[in-house]
A and B are shown apart, each in its own frame.
Chain A
Amino acid sequence: MKASGRLTRRNALKLGAATAALPLVHIRTAGAAGKLSFGFWDHWVPQGNDVMQKQVAAWADKNKVEVQCDFITTNGNKLLLTTAAEDQAKTGHDVVTFLQWDALNHADSLEPMDDVMKRLTDAYGPVNDICGYVGKAKDHWLGVPSSSGAQNKGPCGRISVLKDAAGLDVVAMFPARDEHTAAADNWTYEAMLKAAEACQKVGMTFGIGLGQTGDSVDTAGSMFAAFGAELVNAKGEIAIKSDNVRQVLEYGQKWVKFLPADAVSYDDASNNRALISGKSALIWNPPSAWAVAKRDAPAVAADCWTFPAPAGPKGRFMPYVPFFWGLWKFSKNKSAAKDLIEYLSQRPQVEARCTAVDGYDLPPFESMIDFPVWDNVGPPKGTVYNYPIRKSAQEKAHIAAFPAPPDIAVQIYNRATMPTMLAKLQSGQTIPQVIAWATNELEGFTR
Chain B
Amino acid sequence: MENSAAVVMKGITKTFGSVIANHKVNLEIRKGEILSLLGENGSGKTTLMNMLSGIYFPDDGQIFVNGKKVTIHSPKDAYDLKIGMIHQHFKLVDVFTAAENIVLGLREKGRLDRNAVATRVREICGRYGFEVNPEQKVYTMSVSQKQTLEIVKVLYRGADILILDEPTAVLTPQETEKLFNVIRNMKADGKAVVIITHKLHEVLEISDRVAILRKGEYVGSVPTSEADELSLTEMMVGQKVSLNIDRPEPENRTLRLSVNNLSCVDENGFKRLDSVSFEAYGGEILGIAGISGCGQKELLEAVAGLQSVSSGSIEYYPPDGGEAKLLIGKTPKQIRNYGIALSFVPEDRLGMGLVGSMGMAENMMLKTYEHGFSPFTSKKEPTKLAESVRERFEVSTPGLSTPVRRLSGGNVQKVLVGREISNAPSVLMTAYAVRGLDINTSYTIYRLLNEQKEKGVAVIYVGEDLDVLLELSDRIMVMCAGRVNGIVDGRTATKEEVGLLMTKLDRKEGDSE
A and B from one complex: no
Chain A residues within CB distance 8 Å of chain B: none
